[in-house]
Amino acid sequence: MTTTNFICLEHLNRQYDDAGVKQLVLQDVSLNIAQGESVALLGRSGSGKSTLLNIISGIDMPDAGKVLVDDLDLTAMNEHERTLFRREHIGFIYQFFNLVPSLTARENIEFTLELNGLPANEIFPRVKALMEELDIFDKADRYPAQLSGGEQQRVAIARALIHQPKVVLADEPTGNLDARTGHSILQTLHKLLKEHNSTLLLVTHSLEVANSADRIITLENGYLKERDSGFAW
Ligand SMILES: Nc1ncnc2c1ncn2[C@@H]1O[C@H](COP(=O)(O)OP(=O)(O)OP(=O)(O)O)[C@@H](O)[C@H]1O
Ligand SMILES: [Mg+2]
C-alpha cells in the first residue's frame, strides 16, 4: 500500500446563497487520505458531509481551493472531463440504494460497465463473479422492488464496485438497514475494498459504523477536524 496522499483537499471553501444570505458550508477544509485507507465522516445534519462527497466526485465544485484525486486536479477540469473522471474512478453508495427501478439487479450493475465502454462479452462474467461474491446472483433477474433492503444495498454495492474504482464514496450506506444486516454488509464492503486497495470515504451518523474505518473525521460548522480521543457522539 502506498502511503502517498491519494485524495488531497486543499483549503476548500463552499458557500450557498440562501435568498441573498451567504451560507458557508465548508470553510478552509483540508484533508489528505492515503490510497487504500478508509475514513469515516461524522457530522450533524446539514454540516456539509454530502457536499464534501459531491466535491470529491466532481459533481459539485468548491468556490475556492484545490481537489486532487490520484494526482488529477478536478478543479482544473471542465464538466465533461469531470464526468469521465467520475465514471472511471468513483463508486457511489447511497442510503436509499438509488437503483434504477426499471432495470433488473443484474442490469443495474452492468450499466456501470456499459457506460465505461467495456466489451459486451467481458461484462457478464465480471458481473456474475461479483454478484456471487455478494451472494445475490440468485436474485439477478429480479427488479429492485422485488428485493429486500439488504439485497438492494448489496446490488448497489456491486454497482459501485464493478468497475474497480479507486475511490468509493458511501453516504450512510447502512443507515436504512437493521443493525445486523448493516454490520454484515459493511464487513463485506471493507473486504471487497481491500481486494483492490480502494479508498473509502464513508458518511455515517453511527459511531459503531465509523469505528469500522481506519480514521474518523468530523465536520462542525463548516470546519473539518480529526476526531480527538475524548470525542463522544
Ligand atoms: N444546492 C444547494 N443550494 C443551497 N443550499 C444547499 C445546497 N445543497 C446543500 N445546501 C445546504 O448546505 C448545507 C449542507 O448540506 P449537506 O447536504 O452537505 O449536509 P449533510 O451534512 O449531508 O446533511 P445530512 O446528514 O442531513 O445528509 C445545508 O444547510 C444545505 O441546506
Ligand atoms: Mg447528506
Dump pLDDT digits (tens) for 71-125: 999 999 999 999 999 999 999 999 989 999 999 999 999 999 999 999 999 999 9
> How far, in Å, from the CA of 171 to the mean position of ligand 2?
7
| CATH number for the domain running over 5-226 | 3.40.50.300
Q: Please check the confidence at residue 169 and state whether its pLDDT lies above 90.
A: yes
Q: Pocket around ligand 1: residues whose beta carbon is below 6 Å from it?
A: 16, 25, 43, 45-51
pLDDT beyond 70 at 231: no
179-196: average pLDDT = 93
Q: How far apart are CA 57 and CA 232, in angstroms?
A: 29
Average pLDDT over the chain, rounded to whole?
Answer: 93
Which ligand has an atom closest to residue 220 CA? 1
Residue 48 CA: nearest ligand 1 atom is 18
What's residue 228's pLDDT? 59
CA 127 to ligand 2 center in whole angstroms: 29
CB neighbours of 68 closer than 8 A, spacing ≥ 6?
Answer: 5, 7, 8, 9, 10, 74
Average pLDDT over residues 168-175: 95
User: Of 136, 45, 141, whose CA–CA distance to 95 is shortest?
Assistant: 45
DSSP H or E stretch at residue 169: strand 167-171
1 falls in which pLDDT band (50, 70, 90)? very low
How far, in Å, are 43, 167, 199, 213 from residue 4 at the CA level? 26, 15, 12, 18
Digit-coded pLDDT (tens) for 122-152: 999 999 999 999 999 999 999 999 999 999 9
Q: What span, in angstroms and rounded, lies between the C-alpha atoms of 216 and 228? A: 9
CA quadruple 12, 16, 21, 26: dihedral, nearest 10: -30
**Domain chopping of the chain, boundaries:** 5-226
Q: Which residue, by CA, sits nearest to atom 29 of ligand 1?
A: 46
Triad 99, 101, 106: Cα angle to 5°: 65
3-state SS assignment for residue 29: strand
Most ligand 1 atoms within 8 A of CB, residue of 49, 59, 61, 217 to mutate: 49
- List the residue whose alpha carbon is closest to atom 10 of ligand 1: 16
SS3 call for 226: strand
User: What per-residue confidence (pLDDT) applies to 229?
Assistant: 44
Q: Which ligand places an atom closest to the C-alpha of 23? A: 1
Please give the grid coordinates belonging to residue 66: 484545490
- How confident is the model over 163-184, as a mean pLDDT? 94
